Structure 1
Amino acid sequence: MEQTGPFPTTPLIRTSNGWLNGFIGVLIFSGSLPATRLAVLDFSPLWLTVTRATLAGLLALCVLLMFRQRRPAREQLIPLVVVALGVVVGFPLLTALALQHVTSAHSIVFLGLLPMATAVFGVLRGGERPRPAFWLFSTLGSALVVGFALAQGVAAAPLGDLLMLGAVIVCGLGYAEGARLSRSLGGWQVISWALVLSLPFMGIATWLLMPASFTQVHAAGWWSLGYVSVFSMFVGFVFWYRGLAQGGIAAVGQLQLLQPFFGLALAATLLGEQVSPGMLAVTVGVIGCVVGARRFAR
């Protein structure tokens, strides 16, 4: 079809827009763990989890009504529940619990496993047959993370490390299920409907678990709650899924590998946490393994 406008949208421009939107999404996600680290200083991890989901769910409901989106089909409800359990409830709760035991800089190293976890669940759910090199890179990446945790000493924070590993697993499952569902339901609509499905339960839990007083909450706690509710839980997904749609899932999805670097920089800048050379080395090694694993995934 001939373009009639003065500035036609070429495939190159569309791809560039996809990279830009994906980059913005990754930047937004990179601030999630440092913000959560600040928020759990003033709020309990459980109340923080249900409240951020409630606020994001209300925002998602408004957007769905505004754009008059069709309701999901019956066969799409179970996958949406899986997405909700993975990225709306599981990952936020487990990371909030983990950040009571470890620093955000330490936890961000585990995010290097998230693309690999997503790829593994994508392989399992999609029935693909990756080459042996894929499993080699996957195993090596996992060994690097486990080795790093053990090197800190068993008494350092084993519970925090286990919680972060659990968070990566459930989030990878939620991402993979959401990616499959987005083919029929749409990208940002998946996270929106997952939030809306969770809204009744999260809203009731927010009310029941509400602290008796907020007088001891600092301004940083409120700002952090707002960030993880609006940006990490909803806005980031809007940019992320738009970028995947415009620039291609395989290409733009690689931007997620930059998230640990951005997160470490934010943890050092905003929270004054120490980022050791060992953390950087492990992060680089894990990212290299994830790149290799995704390369041989198909």
Structure 2
Amino acid sequence: MGLLLAVLGVVTFSLTFPATQKALPSFNAWTIGIGRAVIAAIPAAIWLKVKGVPRPSREHLIPLLLVGVGIVAGYPIFTALALEHVSSGHAAVVTGLLPLATAVFGRLRGERPSALFWWAAAAGAAVIVAYSLQHGIDGLALADLLLLGSLITGGLGYAEGGRLSKMMPGWQVISWGLVLSLPLTVPITAVSLAVSPPHDIAVEPLIGLAYVSIFSMFLGFCAWYPGLARVGVTRGSQIQLLQPLLTVGWAALLLDESISAWTLAAAVLVLACVGLAQWARLSLTPPSAKPEPVVAEKPVTVETS
């Protein structure tokens, strides 16, 4: 069941980039990136209320706020802004390193990847740099820096959410992350709508916005986080390796994007590097110290007169 939930989450996320590009003709990137969190917070708040879930304890507030910064605000807005300049296939290849970014934050939380892991990470980064340079310096200066921001914030949100899902149900993690982020997401969405109102409203942009709001921002995590909790963050993240290729396929099918041989080759190479990195098992605990050798004490003899 854990594996099925994780796969369902990844399939849901794989449609995020094509749905975002469907929404861009009518809504600006800030409205899509932050506004979807406001929309998703509505069913999240209703679910929490119906279930009678008490407010999170103080020890859970900071991790939940980090989930909000990473997944609710950072990752969506960075990817939405990047997709104004690059295709879904390009974004999918770059964000194929998201499992590695999650592992980096896991390292900061005490995990100890092997040397093989970091060699694979370096190889994947080299592929990404080569792919970005192939599109010219201008593309690298803006769109790929935005995608780098999505990797950092996404890795933070996944790592914290996966860790927190071991302490509370996964659906509560994303629900509280959305609700607690409302003081930030509501004002930004209001300003975005005032500065750049929706225009040329059509069915496809509305469907795109609805998908990234309900599925990508909420229901996908309701499957993803419980899946991570059941199978483990490291094992579950391996399933996410399918996401870039799925996104490239969806982009070709739904957006008629021309997928170049270089884009497909880069996606496969990234998957190979990330797969090798995840195959190098994480040592979650430091190696146990060798026991001190036991030195036998000399028997004490008492001389008697």
TM-score, normalised with respect to structure 1: 0.89
Post-superposition Cα deviations, 1:201-257, rounded to whole Å, max 9, x if no partner, equal 322333333257545122111110100000000000111123233444443332110
1:272–1:207 distance in 2 versus 1, CA, 3 Å: same
Match of 2:183 in 1: 200
> Would you say the 8 A contact 2:63–2:164 is kept in 1?
yes
1:207–1:153 distance in 2 versus 1, CA, 3 Å: closer
Select between 143-152 and 210-219 the one with higher mean Cα deviation: 210-219
> Would you say the 8 A contact 2:166–2:229 is kept in 1?
no
Is the aligned partner of 1:130 residue 2:118?
no
Distance 2:135 2:197 in 1: 37
> Would you say the 8 A contact 1:25–1:240 is kept in 2?
yes
What secondary structure, in the 3-state scheme, does the structure 2 residue paired with 1:275 have? Answer: coil
Match of 1:41 in 2: 25
Q: Describe how 1:206-221 pairs up with structure 2 within 5 A.
A: 206-211=189-194, 214=198, 216-221=200-205
Distance 2:229 2:78 in 1: 29
Q: Counterpart of 1:254 in structure 2: which amino acid? A: Q
Q: Describe how 1:107-118 pairs up with structure 2 within 5 A.
A: 107-118=91-102
CA RMSD, Structure 1 to Structure 2 (Å): 1.6
Identical aligned residues as a percent: 46
Distance 2:94 2:75 in 1: 12
Match of 1:24 in 2: 8
> Would you say the 8 A contact 2:20–2:208 is kept in 1?
yes
Post-superposition Cα deviations, 1:60-106, rounded to whole Å, max 9, x if no partner, equal 10111111122111121111111101110001101111011111111
- Provide the aligned length of Structure 1 versus Structure 2: 281
Distance 1:294 1:45 in 2: 32
Is the aligned partner of 1:63 residue 2:43?
no
Structure of higher CA gyration radius: 2
Distance 2:72 2:187 in 1: 15
Distance 1:185 1:70 in 2: 12
Distance 2:169 2:232 in 1: 14
Distance 2:180 2:154 in 1: 17
1:130–1:201 distance in 2 versus 1, CA, 3 Å: closer
Match of 1:185 in 2: 168
Cα distance, 1:130 vs structure 2: 2.2
Distance 1:180 1:171 in 2: 14
Q: Describe how 1:1-298 pairs up with structure 2 within 5 A.
A: 17-125=1-109, 127-156=110-139, 158-211=141-194, 214=198, 216-296=200-280, 297-298=282-283
1:156–1:129 distance in 2 versus 1, CA, 3 Å: closer
Cα distance, 1:128 vs structure 2: 2.4
Select between 288-297 and 268-277 the one with higher mean Cα deviation: 288-297
What residue ranges of structure 2 are gaps of 5+ in the alignment? 284-305
